[in-house]
Chains A and B, each alone.
Chain A
Amino acid sequence: MIRALGMAAILLRVAFGQAPAKAPEFEVADIKLSDGTRDAKVQFLPGGRVDLPNVTVKSLIMVSYGVQENMITGGPKWIDSDHFDIVAKAPPDTPRNALRLMLQPLLAERFKLAIHREDKPMPVYVLVVAKGGPKLQKATSGPQQCRWNNPGSGMIQRECHNMTMAELALSMPGWAHGVDLPVIDLTGIEGAYDFQFEWSMPSGDASKAGAPVIADPGGSIFDAIGQIGLKLEQRKHPMSVIVIDHVERVPTVN
């Protein structure tokens, strides 16, 4: 009954042009400087509880806004070096994904974090058609799926069915060590396709002192994508970055 009245109140406010209700916030949140004894973690627990030991403001922005490190610009150096232990509580029936988003108003209220988004040219890979045109087979039927095959001789093969070029671009950064940037599909190819291509696995043992990070000796994924008539090129592309306008080092008390 009370919830229904609350919802009605929100609808009335919206209908009469009043400011929309605030985003959900934690009921209580304790923030203190960390002594660094606990492992850095993000723990969204059932019952609306959140436990974030040994975290930085930068990592909180990454978690709450779902962005990678280089998509955050501005801000003082301490956002990456000051560590905090945060314990917070939301209503018990709060979904776990909502808990993640509630970190945004927490940052705004307690650290006075103010941000805005702007498009900035960032290094990305673009997926384009290679000289000679694409070598793709129109998808026959069945679900979209990919699998790893082991053709031997230190090679790894990725076989995909019913996949669009946009989906391929989105997936590629997780497939091989060299694709360390977002991939944007600029092939202009519509529809879904079946394809496979293979490349060699990198070698090098990081546990050996002075071991270099070496590229795939027998052909990288960048060479291999040519097998299906496509190419990866590094370019600058407008990406939505977070710009920190203001943040305060000492969080306000609860």
Chain B
Amino acid sequence: MTEDKSEILQGTLDLMVLKTLDAIGPMHGYGIARRIEQLSEEALMVNQGTIYLCLVRLVQKRWITARWGASENNRRAKFYSITKAGRKQLDSETKNWERVAGVIGRLLQLSPRN
């Protein structure tokens, strides 16, 4: 059960990174980490290092790609983008979350007598 909880947290982080790239477009690792730090606060215990490892993991799974590009002022920087496979994974995970949320929502609406 302990390992399952950790897998859920890692999966949540993967989902947040995929969603960030899907919503905002190609992004540098620093920006991804700052965004998720702001959104998750202490819940996922993320910092630049944990996001860095998440990005390594998602590149290995081919859900995102990393490409060197020109940033503002033509500075060389690495940007991450979501792939077609990553969007498929995001759709599947999102549907799963919505399904679970729907079940919990119905359960919470049940009166004590049900």
Contacts and interface: CB of A to CB of B under 8 A. Distances in A.
Interface in A1-54: 39-47, 49, 51
B102 interface: no
Interface of B is mostly: helix
B50 A42 contact: yes
A51 B81 contact: no
Contacts of B50: 42, 63
Q: Which of A43, A47, A61, A211 has the most CB of B within 10 A?
A: A43
Interface in A49-103: 49, 51, 55, 59-69, 96-97, 100
Given A63-B53, A174-B31, A207 B84 contact: yes
A234 B47 CA distance: 24
Interface residues of B, number: 48
A149 interface: no
B6 A204 contact: no
Given A171-B34, A213-B67, A100 B48 contact: no
A173 interface: yes
Interface of B: 2-3, 5-6, 10, 24-39, 45, 47-50, 52-53, 56-57, 60-61, 64-65, 67, 69, 71-73, 75, 77, 79, 81-85, 87
25 contacts: A41-B57, A43-B10, A45-B2, A45-B6, A47-B2, A55-B53, A62-B52, A68-B29, A68-B52, A69-B52, A174-B35, A174-B36, A177-B24, A177-B27, A178-B71, A180-B28, A180-B77, A181-B30, A202-B26, A203-B25, A206-B65, A206-B67, A206-B83, A207-B83, A207-B84
Given A171-B38, A174-B31, A222-B72, A202 B25 contact: yes
A244 interface: no
Q: Which of A61, A67, A173, A202 has the most CB of B within 10 A?
A: A173
Contacts of B82: 206
Interface residues of A, number: 53
Contacts of A61: 49
Given A174-B32, A202-B26, 5 more contacts: A59-B49, A62-B49, A63-B53, A68-B52, A207-B83
Given A175-B35, A212-B69, A204 B25 contact: yes
A212 B68 CA distance: 10
Contacts of A204: 25-26, 81
Interface string A143-185: 0000000000000000000000000001101111111111000
A201 interface: yes
